[in-house]
Amino acid sequence: MAKGLIALVALALVTPASAQLTEQVDLKKPERPVPAAGEAMIVLRAHAPSMAGDNRVLFYRFDAATGKVVTDAAGKPTGAKLTYTYSLFGGKKGEKALRIAIVPAGDYVLAGRTFNVSYTDSFCFGAPRFTLAAGEILYVGDYEMFALAKMPDGERRNAMRYSVDPDATRSQFAEAYPALATQLRPWTPTNGTTFACDGDEFVSYAVPGAAGNGSEAP
């Protein structure tokens, strides 16, 4: 299992924008929506060991031709947000919650994370980028969120630990979508994609071992 505690180093502060993002599949309901023609699935597992409130992992659609995030008519980013709420969905230390979003096929960036709804770290200085083909079901890793975690240099910063556990994720996914479990496959991101910054902290985030700029975790 690969792991990396990746610091989110801030360089600027602004008021965050409200992205127009697809909500995750509600796994509490018996209905199990599946991708329509031209759509795909993003699958991840999330955990927040001590933080209460909403912690959201953000994915923005990316236009490779223009090098920009795809926005709606109001100029807001499009994509998906996958939420983990410790106080409501956690309860067990170390438990990882399955999260699924159905989105249009295309290019995406792991754009950032939001802590307690109102504070956003934007990975605009360098983000993992990946492509979703129509009908694809892509596992993009496990994410553990920390607020002001102590770093090796002694400083405290926001951080998000990345790891992968395909077998455990497939098992959880099979409980929700037994007919689709064999189609789940891992992503192959490329680090270092930049885009227009909008959030509270402007940072970079790199998946350990992935190709591209900044592929090594600090």
- Break the chain into its structural domains and give their ranges: 3-212
pLDDT tens track for 85-142 = 655 444 455 578 899 999 999 999 999 988 776 788 899 999 999 999 999 999 999 9
Name residues whose C-beta falls within 8 Å of residue 164's C-beta, 6 or more positions apart in sequence: 1, 2, 139, 141, 142, 186
From residue 60, alpha-carbon distances to 53, 74, 76, 106, 150 in Å are 22, 15, 10, 10, 29
Asked if the model's pLDDT at residue 14 lies above 50, the reply is no
Helix (H) or strand (E) holding 59: strand 54-63
CA distance 62 to 59: 9
DSSP 3-state of 42: strand
| Stronger pLDDT, 200 or 173, i.e. the higher one | 173
